[in-house]
Amino acid sequence: MLNLFSWVTLVIEKYQVGDSYVWIPVAKETKGNGVRAFLPFNGLDGTYLHGYKARISESKYLDALSDIQRAYIENENEVFSVNKGAKDERQYKAKWRHGREQNAPLLGPTKGWVKVKLNRIQYLKDSELGMALDKSSDRYCQVEDFTFKPVLCNSAEELIEKAENLKEKIGDRIPDGQRVPNKCTTSQEAFIRDAAVVAYVLGVANGSCECCGEKSPFIKFNGESYLEVHHVRHLAKGGSDTISNAIAICPNCHRELHFGIDSNLLVEKLYLKVDRLIRE
Ligand SMILES: [Zn+2]
Ligand SMILES: [Zn+2]
The span from the first CA to the last CA of the chain, in angstroms, equals 76
Ligand nearest the Cα of residue 257 is 2
| Ligand 2 centre distance from Cα of residue 239 (Å) | 11
H helix runs in 171-238, sequence order: 195-205
Taking the mean position of all CA atoms in its chain, how far away is CA 125?
11
How far apart are the CA of 93 and the centre of ligand 2, in A?
Answer: 64
Q: What is the CATH number of domain 195-273?
A: 1.10.30.50
- Cβ neighbours around 208 below 10 Å, total: 16
For residue 259, give the 3-state DSSP assignment: helix
Question: What pLDDT was estimated at residue 225?
Answer: 95
Ligand nearest to the CA of 232: 2
The reported pLDDT for the residue numbered 83 is 87
- Distance, CA of 249 to CA of 209 (rounded, Å): 4
Residues 6+ apart with CB under 8 A from 143: 114, 115, 116, 128, 129, 132
Give the per-residue pLDDT at 40: 94
Residue 186 DSSP code: -
Domain ranges of the chain: 11-144, 150-180, 195-273
Strand partners, 114: 24, 141
Predicted pLDDT of residue 138: 86
- Average pLDDT for runs of 10 along the chain of length 280: 47 91 95 92 92 94 96 95 90 92 88 91 88 89 80 86 82 77 80 90 95 96 94 93 96 96 96 95
How far apart (Å, rounded) are the C-alpha atoms in residues 255 and 251?
Answer: 6
CA of 158 from ligand 2 middle (Å) equals 18
ipTM above 0.90, yes or no: yes
